[in-house]
Amino acid sequence: SLDLKENPRSLQAQRFVDRIKASPLKERIDIFDSIKKDGTNWSVSDFNDLLMALVMLNEQETAVKFFSEASSYGLAPNSWTFSIMIRCYCNKNGFFEARKVIDCMFDNGYHPNVTTFTILVNSLCKSGRLKEALEVLDQMGRIGCKPNIQTYNCLLKGLCYVGRVEEAYEMLMNVKNDGLKPDVYTYTAVMDGFCKVGRSNEAMELLNEAIERGVTPNVVTFNTLFNGYCKEGTPMKGVGLLKLMKKRNCLPDKISYSTLLNGLLKWGKIRPAVSIFKEMVRFGFEVDERMMNSLLRGLCMKSWEEKDLLEDAYQVFEKMTKKVSVTDPGTYGIVIRTLGKGKKTDEALIHLHHAIEMGHIPRTITFNNVIQALCGEGKIDKALLLLFLMYEHAKIPSRTSYDMLITKLDQLEKSYDACALYGAALKQGVIPQRKPQD
């Protein structure tokens, strides 16, 4: 049971809260009844300490009950008590009650301070009640309570969230004209608003202005612009921004790199994407499966024209295969075809067999690509073995594959084998253009 003989002033509010939280509803009532009997020891300061602890620990209902019984302790709430209750009602989205508490403050001769008003404004904005938040701003003006930069930051974020970017920009201009100093959160809020409506260049202008005014942008500020540029199809501007970010000693985080990598891949900027990927790996950031698959596919297709990218593609693939269940059948297929096109037929065969062992039977086009690559390198025996493997898995080789195999067999003067292969093709409904030599 709660030891009430000890002066409550010397008891930590946390101790009260822990007891109340651990008790069933009936016992909580008993605890409050016991406290009331010893209410002569309480001061408003003690009362406020416990009330604030309850609110901070999200025991809002208990706090409301405790506040309603202040008179039973012989206490009259002061300005701080009312401010705590405004926070309490905001936490439980009781905005009507919060505004009633403000009215009650005025009735008792107290004026809410800017911090109290800002708590209400912030909660209203977060709940999408922007009209009410702006009404509170007007009320502050009427009673001569000047908003601070935190108050405006809440409103700017709220305006931008609902797409009212022009109003947010005008408010920013007014803030500067009123002699308040915008901080990094002020600029980031409006920049985010511009980026959300496809006006990233204007967001960049604000970033430059912030830097000129001595405001230090943080990682969230830069990430806002990365997101904007990538959504607008200009991820290379993001690459330039990354250089500025590093120059200003602001360390990119996983969101910075992932946003930029995703944008570069989405808009087909494969080479810069590889550089960003390598940087991510170097700094120990995890790249998710979807993006690695996307990067690998992009590298493979690009390497068909730009052969120097083949090694990068293979390195990404090797990283992926070290992870369990990362590589899907489609990715395996495109990698095998890419290795074949890149004249890495031995590696292509290894991974083709590995795919089959994993239950990923490659598509017919994959088998055909590797057969043709093997023929091109003169590895006719391996090409024939792969042909038979196709038969085992009910795959029908293409006319081109048969033509290349028959041509190679003729060159090796293996006319019997060439004729047998021609006959097998006909049985499968494939008519090779190349007939075996007599």
Domain with 58 in it: what CATH number?
1.25.40.10
CA dist 251 and 405 (Å) reads 56
Identify which of 295, 289, 217 has the alpha carbon closest to the alpha carbon of residue 256. 217
Confidence of residue 49 (pLDDT cuts 50, 70, 90): confident
| Orientation angle between helical segments 44-56 and 60-68, nearest 10 degrees | 160
In a domain, 172, yes or no: no
In a domain, 81, yes or no: yes
What share of the chain in percent tops pLDDT 90? 56
100: tokens are 């009633």
pLDDT of residue 353 exceeding 50, the answer is yes
Which domain covers residue 22, as residue numbers?
1-111
pLDDT of residue 323 exceeding 80, the answer is no
Confidence of residue 37 (pLDDT cuts 50, 70, 90): low
| Amino acid type, 381 | D
Judge whether 259 and 293 are in contact, CB under 8 Å: no
pLDDT of residue 36 exceeding 80, the answer is no
Confidence of residue 40 (pLDDT cuts 50, 70, 90): low
pLDDT of residue 34 exceeding 70, the answer is no
CA dist 206 and 4 (Å) reads 59
In a domain, 411, yes or no: no
Q: What is the mean pLDDT of residues 61-69?
A: 85
What is the CA angle 330-398-337, rounded to 5? 35
Kindly report whether the global pTM for this prediction surpasses the value 0.85: no
28: tokens are 């909580």
> Which comes out higher in pLDDT, residue 380 or 4?
380
In a domain, 66, yes or no: yes
pLDDT of residue 27 exceeding 70, the answer is no
What share of the chain in percent tops pLDDT 70? 90
In a domain, 2, yes or no: yes
Confidence of residue 305 (pLDDT cuts 50, 70, 90): confident
> Which comes out higher in pLDDT, residue 17 or 247?
247
Domain count of the fold of the chain:
1
Q: Helix or strand or coil: residue 38? A: coil
User: Taking the C-alpha atoms of 258, 259, 260 and 266 in order, what is their torsion angle to the nearest 10 degrees?
Assistant: 100
Highest mean pLDDT of the ranges 19-33, 243-257, 284-298, 423-437 = 243-257
pLDDT of residue 270 exceeding 60, the answer is yes
| Mean pLDDT for the chain overall | 88
Residue with tokens 């090797």: 318
Judge whether 242 and 230 are in contact, CB under 8 Å: no
pLDDT of residue 5 exceeding 70, the answer is no
DSSP 434: S
CA dist 263 and 298 (Å) reads 13
pLDDT tens per residue across span 121-148: 999 999 889 999 999 999 999 999 999 9
In a domain, 47, yes or no: yes
Q: What is the mean pLDDT of residues 350-379?
A: 90
CA dist 363 and 371 (Å) reads 13
Give me the pLDDT at residue 21, please.
Answer: 67
Give me the pLDDT at residue 108, please.
Answer: 87
Helix ranges (H only) for 144-234 are: 149-161, 165-177, 184-196, 200-212, 219-231
Give me the pLDDT at residue 12, please.
Answer: 46
Identify which of 179, 137, 181, 189 has the alpha carbon closest to the alpha carbon of residue 158. 189
412: tokens are 């090796």
Give me the pLDDT at residue 191, please.
Answer: 98
Give me the pLDDT at residue 137, please.
Answer: 95
What is the CA angle 166-169-171, rounded to 5? 110
Q: What is the mean pLDDT of residues 229-239?
A: 97
Of 1-10, 57-66, 88-97, least confident by mean pLDDT is 1-10
Residue with tokens 């075809």: 337
Confidence of residue 68 (pLDDT cuts 50, 70, 90): confident
Q: What is the mean pLDDT of residues 12-22?
A: 64
CA dist 302 and 296 (Å) reads 10
CA dist 341 and 376 (Å) reads 10
State whether the Cα torsion 58-61-65-68 is positive or negative: positive
pLDDT of residue 153 exceeding 50, the answer is yes
Give me the pLDDT at residue 10, please.
Answer: 40
199: tokens are 């006006």
Of 183-192, 235-244, 412-421, least confident by mean pLDDT is 412-421
8: tokens are 């409550």
Give me the pLDDT at residue 120, please.
Answer: 93
Confidence of residue 150 (pLDDT cuts 50, 70, 90): very high
Judge whether 101 and 86 are in contact, CB under 8 Å: yes
In a domain, 325, yes or no: no
DSSP 305: T
pLDDT of residue 58 exceeding 90, the answer is no
Confidence of residue 1 (pLDDT cuts 50, 70, 90): very low
User: Taking the C-alpha atoms of 269, 336, 396 and 359 in order, what is their torsion angle to the nearest 10 degrees?
Assistant: -110
Say how many Å lie between the first and final Cα of the chain, rounded.
Answer: 106
Q: What is the mean pLDDT of residues 49-74?
A: 83
In a domain, 58, yes or no: yes
